[in-house]
Structure 1
Amino acid sequence: MIALHAIQANVSIGLLPLVWQIIPASHEYFNGDRLMNYLDQSLYEYSQTDFYPFHMPGHKRQVHSPYLRNPYEVDITEITDFDNLHHAEGIIKDNQEKAASLYHADKTWFLINGSTAGILAAVSACTSRGGKLLMARNCHKAIYHAAYLRGLETVYLYPSYESFCGLNGGISPENVEKSLLEHQDIEAVVITSPSYDGIVSDIARIAEIVHRYEIPLIVDEAHGAHFAFHQAFPISALELGADVVIHSLHKTLPAMTQTALLHQKGNRVSTEKLEEFLGIYETSSPSYLLMGGISYCLRFLEEQGAEQFELFSLRMKKARKQLSAMKTLHLTDRDFKKQGNIFDMDLSKFVISTVDAPVNGPQLHEILRTKYHLEMEMEAEQYVLALTSVMDSQEGFDRLVNALLEIDENFYAKKAKTPMHKFTNTEFAAQNQQKCAIWQAVEGSSEAIPLKESCGRVSAEYAYLYPPGIPLLAPGEIISEEFLNQAEHLMQQGMYLQGMKDYEQRYIYVLA
């Protein structure tokens, strides 16, 4: 049974006086004084509503493999004839080789702990314990965790900053070379490209520089698993010189959550070490349902990829052309390449800016969700992100376009406009000063103090928005006044930091 709850949208201009939101409400029971729903039943009930997903996973609930309809029927363990992920000699080995062939990699491994497992394994295989890692500061938290686990010293590469919308730009090849000259003992370089928002760095130039120092380049291309399958997208890092590349299949392709691939190309990284660390970071009980989903995805790419990606490209371009007519909202496009070190952009990421609108990102997100039943991938202070994929239907694109055009026209008709101003970068703070290594801060003696009184102290924990999961503050960094202002500003916009032990964001752990 579905309950209808009336909610008031948090919009000051009266665009939504009252809307109805569909919320699963059956199968409830009281746990003490708290009303609770069973997750499995609530998920099913939500799936029966008309909410449309412009978010991960990339299958968009539209995949209909006849072989995976009942997950319990195919949920097995390592029985005869079904191979072993950690010692692949048969059917899993064959499927991994198919993945390597499709992506033009020398070797590919299935990941069923998400890209996180591949990132941990890649960084661990490319560095020695206590070594030094050159990494982009806008990397996912998993890379910070790898640095912690290996006791690495980290040197940061800061991307350029795009001030209009508040996005992180690309990584400068010149800054990579400068850091490698200053730190001769760096053992590996890792960057994220594309970023969560679809910003692509110049991988070819960066790879050429890194290889001159005879060290490997790791590229977290989790959000670019679709790049290899149509010319409308940037070229994959695997074709541009990267030594290890990680792809999240579930982000932009028809695959289930937690499925990803780790690719190796060339001989700069030890295959044996990659496999050794995969054996540590991946579960010893891999899900055959998830691996079966990877296999289905590979078959889809091989048999239907060309046709379906061409259709996706046409739908995507049509939607972008229609949305270019917006007057107060703005859709980012490849014209951003003129700024900073933005080498290219993934146009499947629809970043809708609210810079000239009378609402901020969270408010636009609320309008899209409550009035139009469109679920976005992410909200930031000055934009929302709609993640599209090859599985999006024409109906889905039409709903997104019509909703945004109607919202935009309402804003324009009311002549409601806010002055453009410089927004807070919601992906990381200013260049925080490092006092010690991540592992030293995490494992050192710490104490909880009021966040407002922490300026100048050394953080013993992370602080980040999720998504995108990029630390605004990392352990070992000195807490700056800029970070505290940023945290306060985000909280006023209704966005709270994660990673801190105090969920209410009043206290933070610092080195004692």
Structure 2
Amino acid sequence: MKKPEQCAQHSLEKYCVEHGKHTKAQDTLETAELCHHDEKGGKLQTALDQYLEKELYPMHMPGHKRRCAVMPTNVLRYDFTEVSGTDDLHHAEGILKDAMERTRRLVGSDRTWYLVNGSTCGNLAGVSAIVPYDGEVIVARNCHRSVFHALELRHAHPHWLWPSMEPETGIFNSVRPEEVEALLSAYPNSAAVVLTSPSYEGVVSDIRSIAELCHRHDVPLMVDEAHGAHFGLVSAAGFPDSAVHQGADLSVQSAHKTLLGMTQTAYLHLRGNRISEETLEEKLAIFETSSPSYPLMLSLAGCTDFMETEGEACFCAWAAALHEFDEIIRPLRCLRVLCHGRDARSTHAFYDFDPSKLVVDCSRTSMTGEVLQDLLRTRFHYELEMAQPAYALAMTGPGDDFTELRRFGEALCTIDRELEDEASQRSLSPQTVDASVRRVERALDEGSSVESVLKQARNSVDSCADFDAFMVENQESVMTPCDAVEEKQESQTPKASVRLPEMETQESVMTPCDAVEEKQVMIPRTDALDQVSGEYVYSYPPGVPILVPGERITEKVLQYLERAEREERALRYSRSEAFPGKLACVSTGDAPRLVSLKPKHSIYDFGK
């Protein structure tokens, strides 16, 4: 992330003073005559109003944060159909064509389409356009479920690319160019490569290098960039560059996630001539509604207007607020925020990282991500995007009140101090501290290095905690009390075992389409080992499948499902939802076995 000095002309304080809780668009909206009656909203509106009364600050999507509008609030006035003068999204020749052309110029694509069915629509249309029926394709296994649905509809033969995982959090690392190269060499008939960057948590892959090697193999690259609509728009703000700028042939972005669009708004961007525009439009006509919402399209056009007039000032203020957040959280010792504060990106297997994502890692504490999420909601009035056992995710956006990032950082520091106090009480006693301090002082006086003393201290868990007490006293901590408690807990900590299973061990026996079309039987989970899955199982959010139709059900998957349900985590089953304790499996036990869908050599040895 670039230094905020590069955005000096757009300081955070100046932006907040000038704009407060408004944009230019909002100033005109507040005087708009509303054509609705609050009392007519019914039970749904009542429930939503009750939620709003809690006054929880949204550290989640949509990016407008319900406070920065780029379209009129009186939506009924603009709820048109295709009549003379309003154009037609599926045959744009007038105002909609002009609006999409302006957005195209802003993002730097060769063609841009507005989507009102979300990035899901873009993924369905894009995959359908680049993968021939019954064709082969290389797909990152951590893609959104909409990509899997597209593969199913195309009867595709996917060759899975399995990104590695962070051991502490279970977050997927970047897709590496070497992994893509290995699969392209192993499966030369693959029609395309499809991957996600950035991930839900903000992990970015080396799209430029991957695009170059795809093109050397004469195959297109499609990137699900739903969480990266803010990429490549204001270089001075320091966010990563966009897939379209780095050579991706097709990319999908959600305007509602990290820009100011209304929920469901998205873009499909095309670059180059490897993919037919006509084919894309044909697929969009299939997957996108024939009655697109004009308020949603107005919202998409409004994002372009905003970026052209206020984008640089807003994005630079956003970057400055994130830099200030980094300074505030530097004292964190038990919690950490990935790639923020003192947590260096170089310590992760990330090619790049989106600083707008605040991934609060609690894996070294006694607290789960769900507990942290609840605590931030009930005590500090922040509603986060999502939580997993080892972390909680907060999303920032251009619609934020940027001063709230300061308060959020202070809230994390408060929680961190309390965790440290708790950990110290659990791991340290006055007697062991005194003995350890004397032992460490003596070793240092005799000329031993800090590194050697630390190595010796770590031979026992108690010494590990005691050594930390000495280092805290000397303001040169190497291991925190939270680290010591985490080591003492060892296998007692539930978080590690509730992460996604080691999915690279899962075997694909048949294509997703074949598995779905086969006769299904509901099998008790206790008897499902080695069966072939006939359904998708996923945790939502983020929507990455844990189990895909056609995959062999392993012991690790079953352990994950059992543990996740015991922890009352929200799992979704595409077919067995109404059959608790069962899984939908392919009925035949002797399903035709495909040639291995992974290379014979390991693609995970590179760089070791």
Please report the TM-score for the alignment, with normalisation by the length of structure 1.
0.90
After superposition, the Cα gap between the structure-2 partners of 1:478 and 1:153, relative to the gap in structure 1 and judged at 3 Å, is: same
- Whether 1:445 aligns to 2:449 is no
Pair 1:424–1:273, CA change in 2 (3 A):
farther
Residue segments in structure 1 that go unaligned for 5+ positions in a row? 1-25, 29-36
- Indicate which of 125, 129, 141 corresponds to 1:125: 129
Question: Which sits farther off after the overlay, 321-330 or 134-143?
Answer: 321-330
Could you tell me which of 135, 144, 147 is aligned with 2:148?
144
Distance 1:336 1:155, change over 3 A: farther
Mean Cα displacement is larger for which, 275-284 or 232-241?
232-241
Distance 1:252 1:428 in 2: 29
Q: Name the residue aligned to 2:274.
A: 268
- Taking the TM superposition and a 5 Å limit, the aligned residue runs for 1:296-445 are 296-333=302-339, 337-338=345-346, 341-414=349-422, 415=424, 417=482, 418-420=485-487, 423-424=496-497, 426-427=499-500, 429-431=502-504, 432-445=506-519
CA contact (8 A) 2:339 2:355 kept: yes
**Deviations for 1:446-481, whole angstroms, at most 9, x for unmatched residues?**
100111221100000011110110001100000000
Asked whether the equivalents of residues 464 and 499 of structure 1 are also in contact (C-alpha less than 8 Å), the reply is yes
1:202-246 deviation line (CA, Å, top 9, x unaligned): 111111111011110001111010011233111111111100011
Paired residue for 1:56? 61
Query: Which of these residues, 89, 112, 115, is aligned with residue 108 of structure 1?
Result: 112
TM superposition score normalised by structure 2: 0.76
- Partner of 2:76, secondary structure, is coil
- 2:543 counterpart letter in structure 1: G
> Quick one: distance in 1 between partners of 2:132 and 2:576?
34
Q: Which amino acid is the alignment partner of residue 486 of structure 2? A: P
Does the Cα contact within 8 Å between 1:115 and 1:247 map onto a contact in 2?
yes
Residue 586 of structure 2: aligned partner: 511
CA deviation map 1:55-74 (0-9, x unaligned): 11111001244x52122222
CA offsets, 1:168-193, max 9 Å, x none?
10111111111111111100100100
Inter-partner Cα distance in structure 1 for 2:90 and 2:251: 20
Alpha-carbon distance in 1 for matches of 2:344, 2:530: 36
Greater than 6 Å deviation, 4+ residue runs: none
> Please, which runs of 5 or more residues in structure 2 have no aligned partner?
1-37, 427-481, 588-608
In structure 2, the residue matched to 1:238 is 244
Decide whether the 8 Å contact of 1:496 with 1:505 is kept in 2: no
Structure-2 residue corresponding to 1:462: 536
Once the 2 structures are TM-superposed, how far is the Cα of residue 399 of structure 1 from its aligned partner? Answer: 3.1
Q: Residue 408 of structure 2 aligns to which amino acid in structure 1?
A: L
Shift of 1:278: 0.3
Which one-letter code corresponds to 1:384 in the other structure?
Answer: A
Asked if 2 retains the 8 angstrom alpha-carbon contact of 1:208 and 1:241, the reply is yes
For 2:356, the aligned partner's letter is S
Preserved CA contact (<8 Å) 1:57 1:257:
yes
Matches of 1:370 and 1:287, distance apart in 2: 36
**Counterparts of 1:158-237 in structure 2 under 5 Å?**
158-231=162-235, 232-237=238-243
Report whether the alignment pairs 1:93 with 2:100: no
Contact 1:225 1:249 in 2 (8 A): yes
Q: Distance in 1 between matches of 2:347 and 2:560?
A: 24
2:168, 2:531 → 1: CA distance?
32
Asked if structure 1 preserves the Cα contact closer than 8 Å seen for 2:522 and 2:576, the reply is no
How many corresponding residue pairs?
479
Rounded to whole Å, the distance in 2 between the matches of 1:79 and 1:428 is 53
* Rounded Cα–Cα distance in structure 1 between residues aligned with 2:532 and 2:99: 47
Higher helix share: 2
Inter-CA distance 213–341: structure 2 relative to 1 (3 Å threshold): farther
Query: In the aligned structure 2, how far is the partner of 1:220 from the partner of 1:427?
Result: 21
Q: Please state whether the residue corresponding to 1:237 is helix, strand or coil.
A: coil
Q: C-alpha displacement at 1:424, in angstroms?
A: 4.0
Identity of aligned residues (%): 39
| Structure number, greater radius of gyration | 2
Judged with a 3 Å threshold, the aligned counterparts in structure 2 of structure 1 residues 427 and 197 are, in CA distance, closer, same or farther, namely farther
| 47-56 vs 210-219, greater mean Cα deviation | 47-56
For the aligned residues, what is the CA RMSD? 2.0
1:478 alignment partner AA: R
* CA distance 1:320–1:239, shift in 2 (3 Å): same
